[in-house]
């Protein structure tokens, strides 16, 4: 087993990274390994200048800044591991800074747009009840679409209206919900057997009676938002952005929102403060007598 494979096994089995994340690391590192091979370099013998030359090489290939930053981050993790395992004497990335990424403010829905979407599913139809449950879960909890698809029946506590979520890195957290989702969830659980082709313990089922996938949820959202008359592009992640923004707008503290979203670092959550700050700015400019 080579050093890269050892590192990938470390991520998967010791750090509990998802297979999807490990594959992303593998793809990033393979580009660097190929570059080293073409330049007669061994990954254990590269230095600071070699890394700088590699970054210049990525620029020439016209990689986007975000992709380059991710690729450098993957290498940084690899070389930290190699240094920790005494495979190298010096870490060639210690003084390397990643390309600066211009942060884009996440798009979110207004309360009026959310209401239009959430009120669109037909609650007299079994698929409509299922779809309403999907939409409510995404908005009231801010969970990732992958987390939604992986909710199992025994993760739900109907008594205290909470759900155990398995997030990135197999980290568990608890999310909460209110009376509206409580009614819809119980209604869905009553008719869930209509979707079942066999015993399956995942909460949300597809039309064919199996665990629903993320693509199917995207299709459901697209159909419902069109029916609701919303003409902007919406993804499952839009509901996550909307959840965080609405929570902060209503006075929730950043730490609480971080925990509910399952962000490992608070800095990831702070991007939503830009949205709430912009709202405050507009309110000030529109209301203060001396601001006009």
Mean pLDDT by 10 residues, the chain (292 residues): 89 88 94 93 91 92 89 93 91 85 76 95 96 96 94 96 89 91 96 87 94 95 95 92 88 85 79 65 62 57
Q: Which residue has the tokens 């009376």?
A: 179
Among the options 70, 144, 241, 246, which is catalytic? 144
- Contact at 8 Å (CB) between 258 and 266? yes
Catalytic residue, from 81, 177, 188, 272: name it. Answer: 272
The whole-angstrom separation of Cα 8 and Cα 244 is 33
CB 224 within 8 A of CB 117: yes
Class assignment of domain 111-284? mainly alpha
H or E element at residue 7: helix 3-9
In the set 76, 161, 173, 237, the catalytic residue is 237
pLDDT of residue 66: 85
pLDDT at 129: 97
What does the pLDDT read at residue 280? 60
3-84: CATH number: 1.10.150.130
Does 272 qualify as catalytic in the annotation? yes
Domain with CATH 1.10.443.10 in the chain: 111-284
Q: Residue 140 has what pLDDT?
A: 94
In the residue annotation, 60 being an active-site residue is answered as no
Segment (H or E) for 108: none
- Set 130, 192, 225, 240: catalytic member: 240
pLDDT score recorded for residue 99: 77
271 touches 177 (CB < 8 A)? no
- Please give the Cα distance from 6 to 19 (Å, whole number): 15
- The CA-CA-CA angle for residues 152, 158, 162, to 5°, reads 70
Catalytic residue among 168, 173, 211, 218: 168
Token digits for 184?
């819809």
Is 237 annotated in the active site? yes
Let me know if 144 is a catalytic residue: yes
129 touches 187 (CB < 8 A): yes
Range list for CATH 1.10.150.130 in the chain? 3-84
If you write DSSP's letter for every residue of 218-247 in order, what string do you get? Answer: HHHHHHHHHHTT--S---HHHHHHHHHHHH
Name the residue with tokens 């870490």: 91
Contact criterion met (CB below 8 Å) for 242 and 230 = no
């Amino acid at each position: 087993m080579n050093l890269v494979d050892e590192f990938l096994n470390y991520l998967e089995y010791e750090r509990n990274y998802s297979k999807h994340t490990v594959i992303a690391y593998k793809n990033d590192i393979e580009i660097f390994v190929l570059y080293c091979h073409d330049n007669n370099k061994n990954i254990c013998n590269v230095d600071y200048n070699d890394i700088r030359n590699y970054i210049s090489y990525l620029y020439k290939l016209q990689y986007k800044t975000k992709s380059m930053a991710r690729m450098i981050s993957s290498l940084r993790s690899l070389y930290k591991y190699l240094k920790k395992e005494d495979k190298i004497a010096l870490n060639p990335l210690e003084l390397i800074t990643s390309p600066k990424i211009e942060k884009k403010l996440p798009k979110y829905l207004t309360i009026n747009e959310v209401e239009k979407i959430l009120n669109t599913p037909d609650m007299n139809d079994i698929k409509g009840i299922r779809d309403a449950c999907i939409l409510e879960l995404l908005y009231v909890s801010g969970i990732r679409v992958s987390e939604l698809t992986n909710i199992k029946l025994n993760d739900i506590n109907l008594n205290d209206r909470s759900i155990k979520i398995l997030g990135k890195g197999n980290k568990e957290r608890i999310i909460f919900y209110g009376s509206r989702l409580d009614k819809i969830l119980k209604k869905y659980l009553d008719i869930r057997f209509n979707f079942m082709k066999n015993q399956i313990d995942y909460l949300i089922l597809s039309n064919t009676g199996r665990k629903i996938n993320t693509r199917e949820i995207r299709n459901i959202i697209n159909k419902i938002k069109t029916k609701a008359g919303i003409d902007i592009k919406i993804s499952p992640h839009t509901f996550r952005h909307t959840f965080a923004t609405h929570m902060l707008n209503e006075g929730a503290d950043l730490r609480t929102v971080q925990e509910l979203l399952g962000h490992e670092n608070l800095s990831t959550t702070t991007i939503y403060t830009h949205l709430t700050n912009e709202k405050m700015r507009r309110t000030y400019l529109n209301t203060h007598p001396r601001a006009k």
